[in-house]
Amino acid sequence: MLHSALMNVMVKAARRAGRSLKRDLGEVENLQVSMKGPANFVTLADKRAEEMLYSDLTKARPGYGFLGEEGGIREGTDKSHTWIVDPLDGTTNFLHGIPQFAISIALQRDDQIIAGLIYNPANDELYMAERGGGAFLNDQRLRVAGRRQLNECVIACGLPHIGRGDFALAQKEMGALQPKVAGFRRFGAASLDMAAVAAGRFDGYWERNLSAWDIAAGIVMVKEAGGTVGELDGGDLLKTGNVVCGNEFVHGELTRILRPLK
């Protein structure tokens, strides 16, 4: 477990927003579901949780900037620190009552993510990582899986959906990997996919076109668990959101197989 003052702030904020999401989970019919685009839902639950996180995090660290999925960027006076927050990652799961969703909080200092937290209030799994301090699931230290044979690996992915992504490329990617791996999983919350890589549950994960708030906490989580995180085409990961991760070997193999397909 990480007990720094910074992590305590993040944990407290996540637990309060988590209680709000749990309350809302039982009242989905009252959540004023709307669509930001095709298959891109937003609800009162997302907005309430984001406002709580904004209020708690900026009260504890006045001046830090705040980037949230629902409210966009709110500049602070301290230009080197920014919170990057997804108040509800996995909204589609949430709306279907599937208990696979999370709050994701990261702190960026200049160009680096220095802390990350991913919290699933449905099962109370709390993932924490601080740069140089390791990664933890509740009080248990995390380490990525050690497999070095792709045909033994379970690989998680995200698939494009209506309105977003390149369907043909996704088919090619699945087709190229399918005969080489033990199995695919598509769970529907990017932050938890990365947390599961950090925990050694998934051997690897890739997805394209994510946003900074989906992956920022996951990046430090996987790295602090001894894994490797990269950008599928070699670009700037927080900008493109084309993520690939795993242990060094799995990351290398996924990159080698997927990169030429684009």
Contacts of 59 by beta carbon, 8 Å cutoff, 6+ apart = none
Residue 141 beta carbon to ligand IPD: minimum distance, rounded to whole angstroms: 25
Task: Choose the one of Ca ion, ligand IPD, none that binds residue 189, judging by a C-beta under 5 to 8 angstroms depending on kind.
Answer: ligand IPD
Cα(194)–Cα(159) distance, integer angstroms: 15
Give the residue, chosen from 2, 155, 198, 210, that forms a contact with ligand IPD under the rule CB under 6 A. Answer: 210
Contacting positions for Ca ion (CB under 5 A): 69, 86, 88-89, 214
Which residues on neighbouring strands pair with residue 105, listed in sequence order?
85, 117
Is 89 a binder of ligand IPD (CB under 6 A)? Answer: yes
Give the residue, chosen from 189, 222, 254, 258, that forms a contact with ligand IPD under the rule CB under 6 A. Answer: 189
Q: Which is nearer to ligand IPD, 158 or 246 (CB)?
A: 158
Cα(140)–Cα(238) distance, integer angstroms: 28
Residue 211 beta carbon to Ca ion: minimum distance, rounded to whole angstroms: 7
191-228 per-residue burial string, b: 16 or more CB within 10 A, e: under 16: bbbbbbbbbbbbbbbbbbebbbbbbbbbbbbbbbbbbb
Is 144 a binder of ligand IPD (CB under 6 A)? Answer: no
Q: Is 86 annotated as a binding residue?
A: yes
The distance of Cα 210 from the centroid of its chain, to the nearest Å, equals 9
Q: Residues within the annotated binding site for Mg(2+)?
A: 69, 86, 88-89, 214
